[in-house]
Structure 1
């Protein structure tokens, strides 16, 4: 393979000279591709110890990582990575591996013949083929896109291993770059000079300087950057600096893996300063202690949001991947920093801006904004990064604000956007995917492939002057055969059928998988056009448009605002998860909008079952759900819960409301009356505070001390008097006439 060896040597030499990466595509038969990868790595002068092979590793002698475990390579850098795409072309793996190659390194893709690749089916296609679809129903549009961009972009060499022919040498012949200016420690710095010495770019040093603002209270810092700019590392240098000064630093992120760079840099700085003093056996723990009594510790977002042990400084890494409700909790900290990825699948910086910036601006913190643009591991303008951003749409955004800022729902046109239309129109695809990115706290490259190739996925949108203003991603679910339904009921999991899976496996309704439904996976409206009715108009159009469907549904992290939105649009709550999402800290709600008799029967029985069980759950697994979420969920239940109180029980309720009887004598009837009111009663009968009182005390069974404190009553006696007063209008509204004489006995 002399031609390949020469091309690989030239490619590697140019990569090293420019501190950029280069991509080498080895297309053809798999074994030949692996042999070619060995030859190319050797010709490039890269030692085997500096190479990771992702895939089966057949035919190579490199360290091998399964394609399903590429997350283990995140946060590392390699001189070269060989990614085998024959068994599966997994977009997430591709995105991760691009970011793990160091400047001067090579990313090597071992792929089928380029002209055939899109038409082959692999393990990832099996993943996209959710029941009842089969792999034959999956398309190859995503791989068509990958092949097209590989052929179009600079810095990408293509070698046909079957014909042993070089189709593109990938050389760019760039002009020389001037050396960057040296990094200096700023005058009057509060942080150790060693922290600045550890910075690799001017951007890092500037960001570190901004983080010094957290030395005093009522300051906040926001660091935004693309992937690979070292924002987590600079957060770690700041964390270590505070810890060696004796301060307590709380670090949180969607997962500890996401925060590893923070702890690695903090550990290195403390070691350099000879201040590390972890107890024996704590080296692998998620806490770092210093000789000055400071520490850096990690907590998952839901726990960190409570600000345990009142930390001095809070650092929120990958903040765009967390819900606003959780982010708001951190504003209670005196000093807080948020780092967020602008582009990439860790989270969308635009979503962070849209959802959280106004809360941050309204807080008591003086906000210091930092943007980091200079890459750490490779030079700016790196062609492999440019290709990855284009191919995987890591930088997708909606239309610029002025194009949609004056749009109204009445002038919008409703369209079903086919996958063929999206893949053929880059502008339309970028606007569509950009809105979906902003709508969800974690959008991955896999989602792009799902959008283009999955047989159960479809897209509906509202457009104004050709620009996407509102978009919905839909998933067809249900319609499962008896054998599949039986397997799920008996414990098997089923991909891509979220609502039927919950109803069959958790709620023990085997027949729930038979009706056909469409789940609204995501719905997003452009930030410049929100709160004008676009989302409601889009849902109404979808309801009129879908055919052969028994129900529309959705599932999401429950908040009062979202619950009201979906309920206004005809969706009824049928289930609330019994555990919080580990990242968002929210309970998930499932809602249905029935379209046919079969859908109505499904909805009716689950709404009824939910209303019947939720009171018991509130005393147990749902005891810590926010009262306003409970109120909104129950208001969204379309059912008439039975209120079968005996005459004696009614006398107890009436006596507690109007006379000397005690709630504690038998809380059961009070709970059933509260459920009836919150599910099917007139919302105007009680004030929101009174309804929260019913939720906290009667349904969730919190102590009267907890209730008084949480709802701001002056004391426990006042809280219990308020409870009795709240039941008076309920007695008047719901009590049968033959027990109202009990009320009249007390002169009320």
Structure 2
């Protein structure tokens, strides 16, 4: 370790960063981290538990977003608290040139069997994680060991030899090597790309043209917003800055000498202040419908990453930018490639991209010949052994969904009960379906879910169909939910998606017992047509919009077993009856085209089922808005209990009107708020029954 200080100085001189792995017991790793990192005069970030008091900032791993927009000299990632891929990818971009990321972890040979707390996010019950052997960690360790720039210190062994650093770039004149220095020009920019981007921001602001600025972390997006804000404010324009939280645009404030007003997105929408220009940092962290509304009201400069660290990076690219094109066809987009926070020769960023498959892209097919297509099951063990195939499939899956994030790679490799079906053209994957097993639930858990007392992780279809859809027997069946299905863009509109679904409908019942194949997605006319044309039946339609896509969620099923086919018809009838009730009340206008496109069974319902829903709403925690149709049908068949006053009858009738807003009802009847209205409705409904045990 005698060369450590000199090596760190050279690392700073070269403008590069490195990863040092401390593999051993947690106590040993923390002790070494304490000795290796300077304790004064530097800004450090500690992610995970056991942070010493000397560190300037410490965060729980799942709070990593609070570090975005900041810069740190050192980063300590305590993987004993869980190797959270999103946290690793995002915070690595906050590390400045000359910085070292310390990764504290168990001995590498034992790490895949370690009870990693992060694994609990991928299982229905926490105890399931204890038995998992992590393929994600096996791949992660393999890539670490193959990278010569990674320093690995094993407990019980001498401090490893420090790798030779990559030489800094030559000076522009081709003379002797110079230190990497982030030197700003007269405009405050660090490189030619930043100057180009700043000029575009100023031009778009002055011509009132929307602009999107994208880049990976460390390219200076936030700094450019601050530089632009300073120039615009000096020219007399009114400028507002917004982001998902006030800490995110810290660099923008740092690079704007004039007072710059910050407003949260929800405050902008409610207060609607006047402004010439709205700068939005980390735009991908803001729901797409909110971004669209802001773009309708203001001239906006959007800055964001697109790798999804904020959680919706691809949503920003795949969902928002097409809407912006409809709203303002002449908007501009600028992308920054050159890093500003470190040298282009930095080795940490390409390492992180490789570890998390952030650059995974599917290879494009050259021409489709259906005679050469084959579909087969692919195991996760195969993906671990064939990294090229893993990268191509993960790239395909990324194209399929707007909320893909680094954690999805770990989910793909580690989550139990997943199936992967792939269509190949020769050796090239061109279509893929990812399915997860759900249900059946135990009797005790089913009752807890039905009554709103339990909400176990996973099992989306049986839980939602039972609790939200009012289908009491839904938890008794087994499902394979199609989480993602995607066809390569160059092979779309040729029936490959339907062909893959038909293969699943034929082969899934042969591979495993399954009552239903299911799906849940944002209901757009094109997607609804696709699923209905392949025999899937709608069972639930959400009344609220998804925060990212702006679409209403819909759940659909295809029966695999005879018993499933029989019960499906009854479920469809109840779904149709509920939809009819909702349409008689307050009906979201966006749902009308979807309703008109749905293939619905005749409306039927069971009085006994309605009574069960009414009873368990009254005495337990079922949801009023979901149960409104059943509750309304129930009270219409019953005489009003003698103890109920006319005011109570009116309150209950108002609350049970499908689509009614409990907050508005509460205001009208002088109740204190939403919760009081719900509580009142339960108390009133209890008068229809003798006791909780006597429905």
Does residue 203 of the first structure (1) align with residue 193 of the second (2)?
A: yes
The corresponding residue for 1:555 is 520
RMSD: 3.6
**Are residue 515 (structure 1) and residue 515 (structure 2) matched?**
no
1:371-520 aligned at under 5 Å gives the runs 371-399=335-363, 403-407=364-368, 411-490=372-451, 491-520=453-482
* SS of structure 2 residue aligned to 1:13: helix
1:149 and 1:164 map into 2 onto residues whose CA distance is 21
Mapped pair 1:9 → 2:2:
no
Distance 2:298 2:65 in 1: 34
Which residue pairs with 2:611 in the alignment? none
Q: Is the 8 A contact 2:222 2:252 kept in 1?
A: no
Secondary structure at the aligned position of 1:451 is classed as helix
Say which is worse superposed, 320-329 or 560-569, in terms of deviation. Answer: 320-329
Q: Which moves more between the two structures, 106-115 or 496-505?
A: 496-505
Question: 1:114-513 counterparts in 2 under 5 A?
Answer: 114-130=108-124, 134-135=128-129, 138-161=132-155, 163-167=156-160, 169-175=162-168, 177-178=170-171, 183-185=184-186, 196-197=187-188, 199-217=189-207, 219-239=209-229, 241-242=231-232, 245=235, 247=237, 256-257=244-245, 260-262=247-249, 264-265=250-251, 267-268=253-254, 272-273=257-258, 275=259, 288=261, 297-299=263-265, 312-313=276-277, 315=279, 317=281, 335-346=299-310, 365-399=329-363, 403-407=364-368, 411-490=372-451, 491-513=453-475
Query: Do the aligned partners of 1:344 and 1:394 also contact (CA within 8 Å) in 2?
Result: no
User: Is the contact made by 1:413 and 1:464 (CA closer than 8 Å) also made in structure 2?
Assistant: yes
Distance verdict in 2 for CA 1:363–1:85, change over 3 Å: closer
Judging changes above 3 Å, is the alpha-carbon distance between structure 1 residues 27 and 268 closer, same or farther for their aligned structure 2 residues?
A: closer
Residue in 2 aligned with 1:40?
36
Q: Is 49-58 or 444-453 further displaced after alignment? A: 49-58
Contact 1:340 1:347 in 2 (8 A): no
Q: CA deviation at 1:442?
A: 2.2
CA contact (8 A) 2:70 2:251 kept: no
Residue among 537, 545, 569 paired with 1:580: 545
1:31 aligns with 2:27: yes
Shift of 1:465: 2.9
Matched, 1:607 2:572: yes
1:531 aligns with 2:493: yes
Conserved? CA contact 1:82–1:109, under 8 Å: yes
**1:573 Cα deviation (Å)?**
1.6
Q: Deviations over 1:374-431 (max 9, x none)?
A: 22322113111111000001111121xxx42532555432122211111211221111
Q: String of CA shifts for 1:568-619, please: whole Å, max 9, x gaps.
A: 2222221122322233333211111222133334533332222112233346
Distance 2:312 2:121 in 1: 25
Aligned partner of residue 366 in structure 1, secondary structure: coil
User: Structure 1 residues 602, 300: CA separation in 2 closer, same or farther (over 3 Å shift)?
Assistant: farther
Specify whether residues 638 and 446 from structure 1 end up closer, same or farther in structure 2 by C-alpha distance, changes over 3 A only: same
Q: By how many angstroms is 1:341 displaced?
A: 2.5
The answer to whether the 8 Å contact 1:132/1:479 transfers is: no
1:334, distance to aligned residue in structure 2 (A) = 7.7
Residues 339-389 of structure 1 show CA distances to partners (whole Å, capped at 9, x for unaligned) of: 443445347888766667677667664343422112232211311111100
Q: Report the alpha carbon displacement of residue 56 of structure 1 after superposing the two structures with TM.
A: 1.9
Q: How many residues of Structure 1 are paired with residues of Structure 2 in the alignment?
A: 598
Secondary structure of the 1:203 match is: helix
Structure-1 separation of matches of 2:507 and 2:6: 56
Whether contact under 8 Å (1:218, 1:365) holds in the other structure is: no
Question: 2:373, 2:424 within 8 Å by CA — same for their partners in 1?
Answer: yes
- Summarize deviations over 1:255-292 as a string: whole Å, max 9, x none: x13x7544x4554555x23x55xxxxxxxxxxx2xxxx
- 1:513 deviation in Å? 1.6
SS of 2:359's partner is: coil
Deviations 1:642-666, CA, capped at 9 Å, x for gaps: 69xxxxxxxxxxxxxxxxxxxxxxx
Which whole-Å CA distance do the structure 2 matches of 1:132 and 1:590 have between them?
26
Q: What secondary structure does 1:114 align onto?
A: coil
Distance in 1 (CA, whole Å) between partners of 2:147 and 2:374 is: 35
Q: Check conservation: 2:372, 2:426, Cα contact below 8 A.
A: no
Higher deviation after alignment, 354-363 or 522-531: 354-363
Distance change in 2, residues 1:481/1:441 (3 Å):
same
TM-score (norm 2): 0.77
Q: Is the 8 A contact 1:158 1:169 kept in 2?
A: no
Contact 1:422 1:429 in 2 (8 A): yes
Question: Helix, strand or coil: the match of 2:397?
Answer: helix
The structural deviation recorded for 1:158 is 0.7
Give the Å deviation of 1:222.
Answer: 3.3
Is 2:520–2:556's contact at 8 Å kept on the other side of the alignment?
Answer: yes
Which segments of 5 or more consecutive residues in structure 2 lack a partner in the other structure? 172-179, 606-628, 634-657, 661-695
Say if 1:443 and 1:26 are closer, same or farther in 2 by CA, change over 3 A: same
Contact 2:223–2:255, Cα closer than 8 Å, also in 1: no
Query: Conserved in 2, the CA contact under 8 Å of 1:55 and 1:66?
Result: yes
1:65 and 2:59 aligned:
yes
Cα shift at 1:523: 1.7
For residues 299 and 358 of structure 2, the distance between their equivalents in structure 1, rounded to whole angstroms, comes to: 31
List per-residue Cα deviations over 1:489-544 (Å, max 9, x = no partner). 34211112111121233334443122110111122222222222222222221221
Deviation of the 1:141 alpha carbon: 0.8
Check the 8 A contact 1:22/1:383 in 2, yes or no. Answer: yes
CA distance 1:51–1:606, change in 2 (3 Å): same
2:98 is paired with a residue of what secondary structure?
A: strand
Cα deviations by residue, 1:652-695 (Å, 9 ceiling, x for unpaired): xxxxxxxxxxxxxxxx9xxx9xxxxxxxxxxxxxxxxxxxxxxx
Whether the aligned pair in 2 keeps the contact of 1:412 and 1:464 (CA below 8 Å) is yes
Instruction: Calculate the TM-score normalised by the size of structure 1.
Output: 0.72
- Aligned counterpart, 2:692: none
The answer to whether the 8 A contact 1:21-1:105 is kept is: yes
- Give, in angstroms, the shift of residue 148 of structure 1: 1.0
Distance 1:219 1:19 in 2: 36
Preserved contact between residue 68 and residue 248 of structure 2 (Cα < 8 Å): no
In the alignment, the residues of structure 1 paired with residue 533 and residue 84 of structure 2 have an alpha-carbon distance, to the nearest angstrom, of 39
Structure 2 CA distance for aligned equivalents of residues 217 and 335 of structure 1: 9
Matches of 2:3 and 2:308 in 1, distance apart? 31
* Residues 619, 377 of structure 1: alpha-carbon distance in 2 compared, 3 angstrom cutoff: farther
CA distance in 2, matches of 1:387, 1:241: 37
Query: Structure 1 residues 336, 478: closer, same or farther in 2, change over 3 A?
Result: same
2:531 counterpart (566, 580, 603): 566
TM-superposed CA distance for 1:52, in Å, is 2.8
Counterparts in 2 of 1:574 and 1:494: CA distance versus 1, 3 Å: same
Task: Supply the distance in 2 between the matched residues of 1:311 and 1:537 (Cα, whole angstroms).
Answer: 52
Please state how far the C-alpha of 1:54 moved relative to its aligned partner: 2.1
Task: Give the Cα–Cα distance (whole angstroms) in 2 for the partners of residues 330 and 537 of structure 1.
Answer: 41
